[in-house]
Amino acid sequence: MLSVRARVLRGEFALDVAFETPTPGVTALFGRSGCGKTTLVHAIAGLLTPAAGRISLDGEAFFDDAARVNVPAERRRVGCVFQDARLFPHFSVLGNLRYGARRAPGDSRRIGMDDVVDLLGLQALLSRRPAGLSGGERHRVAIGRALLSQPRLLLLDEPLAAQDLARRAELLPYLDRLCRELRVPIVYVSHQFDEVVQLADRVVVLESGGIAAQGGIEELSRAPALRAIVGPEATGAVVDGRVTGEAGPGRVRVQLGAGSLALSLAGVRAGERVRVHLLARDVWLALERPSGGLVADVLPGKIRALLGNGDAALLVEVDVGGALLLARAGAESAAELAPGREVFALVNAAGSRAWPIAPSRSGGSTAGATRE
């Protein structure tokens, strides 16, 4: 368990937060720029000292003002990767990796050089210097160096913030594999929710130095605090599904609640779990089952809550047999909608995204999530 209770004062800015998150797993710190994400990471790493609070990992205190405990950063065994990668320019990639390995305590070697090189795809880069690497390659090396120090906790502070879309697309699969295959607890900082959806098990939403919401990724995806940050066009629900078979080239059919969707996802087999992000703008409600081929998938369900208006449409939480989606309803039908009303969710799955979930990942935990 990573337990954080910290008050940090930096000039006129005050950070005052408290949360606990299971380990191992990936906890995302999400919020607008300036909300306190990096300040919180620095406090966990020991790069700044809180005014008050207690920070502990698996019962061992890193900081406790009441007990006068403040473990130096270099003794916390916390690996940090920042936006600028911070590689040694005079070392090759292999030299940077070896530097990380030399910092590991002698009795703690769990992650080997070969494992890191394979996991992050670094074999072809080992002889090169940082100046000859792309931004995504530099961050892969920085993550590898941090892993070889055998950290008890890995902090990734907006590692993709300086990358363009192409570089982010290059690096995200490596991060996803890292999160799925290693049992090192990870705190991942981002202001891009698509990264959070793909990687995180739990999310802590920060706003103006405080916690606006926290919980498992599925329930948190529907929280009002999150919707306020991402805006109506990115509002949606994250749901767990299971692949039932193929639905054409590069497409599979995924069971969601009592229905199923045809999604673009390659390299998965029947029976595997996947995480699906369905945007509310791609899910519309109808009072009767439509006829004809106007939509790809229809999911029967029941209204759970009416969440208010946005973009000239009513936002609705709908239960489709155990999976909770966010959907839109047109103004002409809004007056007929109410909690408990049976409806049909019309899904345009072309705009959805899906990722495989390894058995060790458990995004379904919702304890402590903020709800409406």
- 327-370 pLDDT, tens digit per residue, is 988 766 777 899 999 999 999 888 788 888 765 544 443 333 43
Q: Is the pLDDT of residue 84 over 90?
A: no
Helix residue spans in 313-364 (DSSP H): 331-334
Q: Is the pLDDT of residue 372 over 50?
A: no
Q: How many CA atoms lie within 13 A of 366 on its CB side?
A: 13
**Spatial distance between the Cα atoms of 146 and 154, rounded to a whole number of angstroms:** 8
Q: What type of residue is 231?
A: G
pLDDT at 369: 40
- The whole-number average pLDDT for the span 288-306 is 82
- The whole-number average pLDDT for the span 44-48 is 96
Locate the DSSP E strands across 76-234. Answer: 78-81, 153-157, 186-190, 202-207, 210-216
Residue with more model confidence, 69 or 250: 69
- Residue 164 pLDDT grade (very low, low, confident, very high; cuts 50, 70, 90): confident
Q: Is the pLDDT of residue 292 over 80?
A: no
pLDDT at 175: 81
List the structure tokens of 67. 């007990």
pLDDT at 179: 74
Which domains, from first to last, does the chain contain?
2-230 (3.40.50.300), 236-356 (2.40.50.100)
Angle at 271 between CA 267 and CA 273, to 5 degrees: 75
Burial degree of 166 (CB within 10 A; 0-12, 13-18, 19+): exposed
- The whole-number average pLDDT for the span 135-148 is 91
Q: What are phi and psi of 3, to 5 degrees?
A: -115, 125
Helix (H, G, I), strand (E, B) or coil at 80: strand
Neighbours of 64 (CB within 10 A): 17
- The whole-number average pLDDT for the span 71-90 is 92
Identify the top-confidence range among 41-55, 221-235, 282-296. Answer: 41-55
